[in-house]
Amino acid sequence: MHVETDTNGLIGALLRDLATIQPSKQSGLGYKRAAHMVLGLDHPIESLLRADGTLEKTPNVGPKSELVILEVLRTGASPTVERAVEKSGKAADIAVHRSLRDNYLSRAQVVSVLADTSLGGPSLAEYRGDVQMHSTSSDGTQTLDEIADAAIARGYEFCAVTDHSYGLRIANGVSMADLAKQHIDIDRVNREREGRFRLIKGIEANIAPDGSIDMSPAERAKLELVLVAPHSSLRAADDQTARMMTAVQTPGIHVLGHPRGRQYGTRAGVNADWDVVFGAVVRAGIAIEIDGDPSRQDLDYLIAQRALVAGCLFALDSDAHSTYELRYAEWALAHARLAGIPSERIINCWPLDRLLEWLASRSEG
């Protein structure tokens, strides 16, 4: 596996460094917006370089950000950023941030990987549906109808709505009463789109620090798909292998979602012996997720290769909170292609009947 140099990713990271050390919130936000723009470009930023050595006008990229971009394009580094970091007195903090950006893909890299015919793994055309996303029932902005229609427009056959469970109050976790109402609405959506598309009744349950799940077996049995994920103790240095082993061995779950809970530049996530966890995932017969949210990208392609060797099934998901974010599944697909994961091992690539049969075989009650 060869991953090409990601100039967009390098520049975006340097602009985030500048954002971190700014004395004013306003200037920091300016550099963050510039970084977001560069990381989100569909094409290598080199394509914006004019013949005279200047940069084409780009939204949210001002003169100071342009200076950094041009330095990197000319030399592969930015003396301007390094001097600013040294003068800020925050060099140690920046070093930590930089250590937490490994194996993240920019949008340009995702586009390149999806187009690279030399790679194996799943193609976008083989991707039949997304099994992690959030609606207005918890912390999403998309209604069920909007999810269904946007998914159909992307060519999907199914999606699972996985709002946060009631134990995660910070994410407006959905109560069991509201979940029952959502299920009635899902039935309506499915009747109206019968034969074209299927919404699956799911949940993103929370893994507590002791590995327990914040829903009872009887509550989990009301769902077609139960995805569990860690949302706490994500910066702890202590080993949490036991926590994750307890979680994946819980009866009636289907997917271990964003397993580490890592976040771009801010946290490494759960510290565990992942090869041991992957073995437990295989024995439990569940799938492990590659979460495509650009700030998560969890699992990334290198650790996903280890999960592949262990024998894991995979789920490739967007973790979308809006219809626009459904495209985040493409980051997950790119990591899967770089890891060489065959489509047969990816539940999103299965026909709907096969997926539903597998879900039912894993469910409680």
- Report the SS3 class of residue 361: helix
Please say whether the beta carbons of 341 and 307 come within 8 A. no
d(CA 171, CA 22) in angstroms, rounded, equals 30
Does 110 map to a domain?
no
Tell me, yes or no, whether 87 and 125 share the same domain. no
> CB under 8 Å to 320, separation ≥6 — which residues?
130, 132, 133, 134, 140, 142, 326, 328, 329
Tell me, yes or no, whether 74 and 159 share the same domain. no
Does 330 map to a domain?
yes
Please say whether the beta carbons of 44 and 8 come within 8 A. yes
pLDDT at 1: 60
Tell me, yes or no, whether 73 and 138 share the same domain. no
Q: Which helix (H) or strand (E) holds 159?
A: strand 158-161
pLDDT at 365: 46
Does 104 map to a domain?
no
Write out residues in the chain with pLDDT < 70, as ranges. Answer: 1-2, 364-365
pLDDT at 2: 61
pLDDT at 171: 76
Q: Name the residue among 199, 198, 231 with its Cα closest to residue 214.
A: 231
Tell me, yes or no, whether 137 and 54 share the same domain. no
Q: What is the pLDDT of residues 236-274, one digit of tens each?
A: 999 999 999 999 999 999 999 999 999 999 999 999 999
Where does the chain show beta strands of DSSP type E?
129-130, 158-161, 198-207, 225-230, 255-256, 287-291, 313-317
Q: How many domains does the chain have?
A: 2
Query: CA angle at residue 234 from 147 to 329, to 5 degrees?
Result: 25
Tell me, yes or no, whether 178 and 230 share the same domain. yes
Give pTM, 2 decimals: 0.96
Residues of the domain holding 189: 121-362
Q: Which helix (H) or strand (E) holds 140?
A: none
Tell me, yes or no, whether 286 and 199 share the same domain. yes
Tell me, yes or no, whether 125 and 48 share the same domain. no
The CATH number given to whatever domain includes residue 328 is 3.20.20.140
The CATH number given to whatever domain includes residue 83 is 1.10.150.110
Does 116 map to a domain?
no
Tell me, yes or no, whether 234 and 336 share the same domain. yes
Tell me, yes or no, whether 35 and 161 share the same domain. no
pLDDT at 120: 87
Does 111 map to a domain?
no
